Structure 1
Amino acid sequence: MAVAPESSPAPRYRIQVRNVGNAPVDTTVRQELPAGSSPTAISAGGRSTSAGGSSTEVTWRLRLPAHSSTTLGTALAATAPGQPLTAPACAFTGDGSRPYDCATATWQAAGAPAAEVTEAPPWRRYPVLLAGLAVLLLVSAALLWVWRRRRGRRVTAAALATSGGPEGDRGTIYPRPAVPRSARRRRTPPVWLLVGAAVVVLAGVIGTAGWTATRQVSEIDTQKQPTSGAWMGSGVTGPVGVPLRESAFEFTVYRMSCGAPGSAAKTDGGGAAPANGRRCQATVGVRNVTGDQQPWHGQLQRAYLPGGRWVSTDEPATRAANLGRDIFADPMAAGTRMVLPLVFTVDGRDPPQQLELRSGVFSAGVRVHMP
């Protein structure tokens, strides 16, 4: 598969499909159109259908002889002229269930960026705030200790220089007055208590920072809420069809399709599903951009539903969609790329609003907005 935008006033795309095998192939090509756009021209044999919600897709059914290729084309009418539009396309098996390959392209008229980096400013990061609070407490304790020492020295010097005789003359330290004055004792905490309190507060701050870090590690536990922080890389957000890179992987979500509510059954290869549950299958491209093999885990791939709820990958259903292959069992080799389906079991009538994909527990990951 290869998709390329054309240099035209309106969005236009060329889709090249090539059979590199030694036998004819029946394939279904689907191009996901951006939300709010509609096709104005489709090459012969294609038809436009609704993909659910506000999105539309163009579908072709092809039979490619061995070592042959064909070129398809679409032209779109955009609701916001001049804005970049991304339209990915995938070639599936004849029944449209498993992808052979996918490609994507962005028609760009104004040079707008396709993805935005959602890195929080330094003053909003929890580790920076905790470290600043700890330094502030230590500096405050040190200043208070220095001030108390200097004040104590001044008070002692003033008391020794004050005359204790009835004439009011200034005397010396010895001899002391026969009747000593009754000194009022100020009830102030000793220095060791202040320093100890500062140490306790500092230990609490360090403990809080450690607890926050532990919550990020707990992403493997699907019973806990997802975290918004990350330790490696910057969180990247983008739409469907745009390659998004995190610390180790480059993810591209090409399309998402969901069955009807109540269609998810245990017999279809997935786990236990709610009564109104359904399977949502995302076609995802994954590329290892590092020089080493990288493992990844199904529990770290999440679909976010309305209201902030989320579900992890349904690994039995994903294994069934990949012809029984456990795609998370073996690490990805350096520089390799896969296009594969990920299946999520959701409840209710609303489809997922966002996908969160990441290579590891400590990775910032990427977030893909669903149309």
Structure 2
Amino acid sequence: MTKDLETFRTETRAWLEENCPPSMRTPMTGEDDAVWGGKNYEFKNPEAKLWLERMGAKGWTAPTWPAEYGGGGLSADENRVLQSELKRINARQPLFSFGIWMLGPVLLEYANEEQKKEHLPKIVRGEIRWCQGYSEPGAGSDLAGLQTKCEDKGDHWLINGQKVWTSYANYADWCFCLVRTDTSVKHEGISFVLIDMTTKGVETRPIKLISGSSPFCETFFTDVKVPKHQMVGRLNGGWEIAKRLLMYERTNISGFGSNTRVDVVDLAKKHVGLEGGALEDRDLRARIAAHKMTERAYALSVQRATEEAKAGGNVSHMASMFKVAGATLNQDRCELMVEAAGNRALGWAGEGFSADDLATTRGWLRSKGNSIEGGTTEINLNVVAKRVLGLRDTQ
């Protein structure tokens, strides 16, 4: 490590020690602890608000984004130091944001200067909460078949149509949305627009899941007027942006629905017991060890692909690989956690089960959706077969 990085580590450690509140150094107790931000977000913990404000002001919610757009302006090496220091004090993630995970990276690549300056700083500070308008009732796996219509009305766009599985749309301030601007072609007739969810004609309806939660919504657009300057990229050039954004989305799938309270190893130690310092159940121990190795390999692969993408490399074909691997990884983790918890993972409600027990059960149920969201496993395997392995359709 260079002298400059050592200095950066020392300064970062001192800043974190002074600015990270005590409750933000404890494990999350569930999904309710996740801070999503937005205009109407209600903080249950004042220290969570303070932590977001401090990290947002430093730009460290998006540490590698350019400082001119509110980001931290850190190099890859500096970011690794920051992440290690955050991990050292068990700091909670200050902000959960589709704006950071998906929209921001494509705005940096495709948006004009005015759009970057308007939206990126607000994303970094958690002032705006975003949702994703992609899937439709008739265009899920075949996303390019979307039919939400966007007409040119001279001084504005007029949008009519329906989206589905729009995560947290009922809480979002804005939506990044794929719309059809040309009906004569398929992929080449799609554009990428940003929609204010308070616009007249926008309606959301939550969809209740088997886990008991309602993170997904149906979203309806009825004669919604969108200013011309809210289209990102060129007219009918949205499919290129959509593919890039899907790469970022799919690399995050492995973390969706997992039990944020405890690691699978800690949970197994608690419920299975130890023998000579190792898990008493040797078969379960071996499978957890294999899972943890796969988890580490996956994380390193995602890191490599992300750095290649930032360097201008074309890694869009890897999005489908990561989606399949990530979904499988998270589902395997949840299965192992349920198995390790034994009959403690059979509860749904009541005083007989702890909050950790119930979170394990609900996390397992939630993980079933990983095979569908962000593109179904079947479709992604087909993409891998054709575009990565070069296999031909025999029919």
TM range (shorter): under 0.3
TM superposition score normalised by structure 1: 0.25
Structure number with higher helix proportion: 2
Larger RCO of the pair (alpha carbons < 8 Å, separation 6+): 1
TM superposition score normalised by structure 2: 0.24
Larger radius of gyration: 1
